[in-house]
Protein backbone atom coordinates (compact mmCIF):
# COMPACT_ATOMS: atom_id res chain seq x y z
CA UNK A 1 0.00 0.00 0.00
CA UNK A 2 1.33 3.44 -0.91
CA UNK A 3 0.78 6.78 0.81
CA UNK A 4 -2.44 7.21 -1.19
CA UNK A 5 -4.03 3.97 0.02
CA UNK A 6 -5.21 1.17 -2.22
CA UNK A 7 -5.55 1.95 -5.91
CA UNK A 8 -9.23 2.34 -6.82
CA UNK A 9 -10.57 -0.27 -9.21
CA UNK A 10 -12.41 0.38 -12.47
CA UNK A 11 -15.78 0.42 -10.72
CA UNK A 12 -14.66 3.17 -8.34
CA UNK A 13 -13.44 5.32 -11.24
CA UNK A 14 -16.72 4.78 -13.08
CA UNK A 15 -18.63 5.86 -9.96
CA UNK A 16 -16.49 9.02 -9.79
CA UNK A 17 -17.24 9.73 -13.46
CA UNK A 18 -21.00 9.37 -12.93
CA UNK A 19 -20.76 11.71 -9.93
CA UNK A 20 -19.08 14.27 -12.22
CA UNK A 21 -21.97 13.92 -14.71
CA UNK A 22 -24.44 14.56 -11.90
CA UNK A 23 -22.82 17.95 -11.17
CA UNK A 24 -23.38 19.35 -14.68
CA UNK A 25 -25.96 22.14 -14.58
CA UNK A 26 -28.85 22.58 -16.98
CA UNK A 27 -29.05 23.09 -19.90
CA UNK A 28 -25.90 20.97 -20.34
CA UNK A 29 -27.08 18.05 -18.22
CA UNK A 30 -30.00 17.25 -20.50
CA UNK A 31 -27.56 16.58 -23.35
CA UNK A 32 -25.54 14.01 -21.42
CA UNK A 33 -28.16 11.27 -21.35
CA UNK A 34 -26.95 8.19 -23.14
CA UNK A 35 -23.22 8.84 -22.78
CA UNK A 36 -21.67 5.67 -21.46
CA UNK A 37 -18.55 5.50 -19.32
CA UNK A 38 -15.99 2.76 -19.76
CA UNK A 39 -12.77 2.23 -17.81
CA UNK A 40 -9.79 0.48 -19.35
CA UNK A 41 -6.29 0.06 -17.99
CA UNK A 42 -4.59 1.74 -20.99
CA UNK A 43 -5.48 2.90 -24.50
CA UNK A 44 -4.77 0.25 -27.09
CA UNK A 45 -2.08 0.63 -29.76
CA UNK A 46 -4.62 1.45 -32.49
CA UNK A 47 -6.08 4.32 -30.46
CA UNK A 48 -2.65 5.70 -29.61
CA UNK A 49 -1.58 5.52 -33.25
CA UNK A 50 -4.77 7.27 -34.44
CA UNK A 51 -4.17 10.08 -31.92
CA UNK A 52 -0.43 10.22 -32.66
CA UNK A 53 0.41 9.56 -29.03
CA UNK A 54 3.60 7.59 -28.49
CA UNK A 55 3.17 6.77 -24.81
CA UNK A 56 0.05 5.17 -23.33
CA UNK A 57 0.76 6.91 -20.01
CA UNK A 58 -0.08 10.25 -21.66
CA UNK A 59 -3.76 9.50 -22.35
CA UNK A 60 -6.15 9.64 -19.38
CA UNK A 61 -9.46 9.84 -21.23
CA UNK A 62 -11.08 9.79 -24.66
CA UNK A 63 -14.48 10.68 -26.14
CA UNK A 64 -15.83 8.31 -28.80
CA UNK A 65 -18.89 9.50 -30.65
CA UNK A 66 -20.46 12.11 -32.84
CA UNK A 67 -20.33 15.59 -31.28
CA UNK A 68 -23.73 17.21 -30.73
CA UNK A 69 -22.97 19.95 -33.25
CA UNK A 70 -22.68 17.26 -35.95
CA UNK A 71 -25.72 15.25 -34.86
CA UNK A 72 -28.80 15.05 -37.04
CA UNK A 73 -32.16 13.33 -37.11
CA UNK A 74 -30.82 11.63 -40.22
CA UNK A 75 -28.05 9.96 -38.27
CA UNK A 76 -29.01 6.48 -37.18
CA UNK A 77 -27.44 3.15 -36.45
CA UNK A 78 -24.49 4.58 -34.54
CA UNK A 79 -23.45 3.39 -31.12
CA UNK A 80 -24.09 5.82 -28.26
CA UNK A 81 -21.22 8.11 -27.25
CA UNK A 82 -18.67 6.71 -24.82
CA UNK A 83 -16.14 8.35 -22.56
CA UNK A 84 -13.28 5.98 -21.85
CA UNK A 85 -11.14 6.61 -18.79
CA UNK A 86 -7.70 5.03 -18.73
CA UNK A 87 -7.12 3.81 -15.20
CA UNK A 88 -3.34 3.41 -15.01
CA UNK A 89 -2.51 6.86 -16.46
CA UNK A 90 -5.11 8.44 -14.15
CA UNK A 91 -3.62 6.69 -11.12
CA UNK A 92 -0.10 7.73 -12.16
CA UNK A 93 -1.16 11.38 -12.53
CA UNK A 94 -2.93 11.17 -9.17
CA UNK A 95 0.25 9.93 -7.49
CA UNK A 96 2.53 12.38 -9.34
CA UNK A 97 0.44 15.50 -8.74
CA UNK A 98 -1.25 14.78 -5.43
CA UNK A 99 -4.53 16.13 -6.87
CA UNK A 100 -7.59 14.57 -5.26
CA UNK A 101 -8.50 11.62 -7.50
CA UNK A 102 -12.18 12.59 -7.69
CA UNK A 103 -11.14 16.06 -8.89
CA UNK A 104 -8.82 14.58 -11.50
CA UNK A 105 -11.53 12.23 -12.81
CA UNK A 106 -14.01 15.14 -12.89
CA UNK A 107 -11.52 17.24 -14.85
CA UNK A 108 -11.05 14.47 -17.45
CA UNK A 109 -14.82 13.88 -17.68
CA UNK A 110 -15.48 17.61 -18.17
CA UNK A 111 -12.81 17.74 -20.87
CA UNK A 112 -14.31 14.75 -22.71
CA UNK A 113 -17.84 16.19 -22.37
CA UNK A 114 -16.44 19.28 -24.07
CA UNK A 115 -15.72 17.07 -27.09
CA UNK A 116 -19.31 15.83 -26.90
CA UNK A 117 -20.40 19.46 -27.29
CA UNK A 118 -18.08 19.86 -30.28
CA UNK A 119 -15.20 21.75 -28.67
CA UNK A 120 -11.65 21.08 -29.79
CA UNK A 121 -8.74 20.66 -27.38
CA UNK A 122 -7.52 24.13 -28.35
CA UNK A 123 -10.92 25.71 -27.60
CA UNK A 124 -11.10 23.98 -24.23
CA UNK A 125 -7.58 25.11 -23.29
CA UNK A 126 -8.51 28.68 -24.26
CA UNK A 127 -11.64 28.49 -22.06
CA UNK A 128 -9.59 27.14 -19.15
CA UNK A 129 -7.03 29.91 -19.56
CA UNK A 130 -9.71 32.60 -19.54
CA UNK A 131 -11.51 31.21 -16.47
pLDDT over 90 at 123, yes or no:
no
Range with the poorest average pLDDT among 32-41, 71-80, 95-104: 71-80
pLDDT over 70 at 128, yes or no:
no
What is the model's pTM?
0.83
Q: How far apart are CA 46 and CA 113, in angstroms?
A: 22
State residue 131's pLDDT score.
Answer: 53
Helix (H) or strand (E) segment spanning residue 97: helix 87-97
Q: How far apart are CA 118 and CA 99, in angstroms?
A: 27
Q: Which CATH class is domain 10-130?
A: alpha beta
Range with the poorest average pLDDT among 10-14, 87-91, 115-119: 115-119
Digit-coded pLDDT (tens) for 62-71:
999 877 656 6
User: What does the pLDDT average to over 15-32?
Assistant: 88
Domain residue ranges of the chain, discontinuous segments joined by +: 10-130
Amino acid sequence: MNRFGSAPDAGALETMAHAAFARFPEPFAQHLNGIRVRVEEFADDETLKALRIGDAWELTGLYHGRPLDQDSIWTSGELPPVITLYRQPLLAEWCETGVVLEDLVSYVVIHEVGHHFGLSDEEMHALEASA
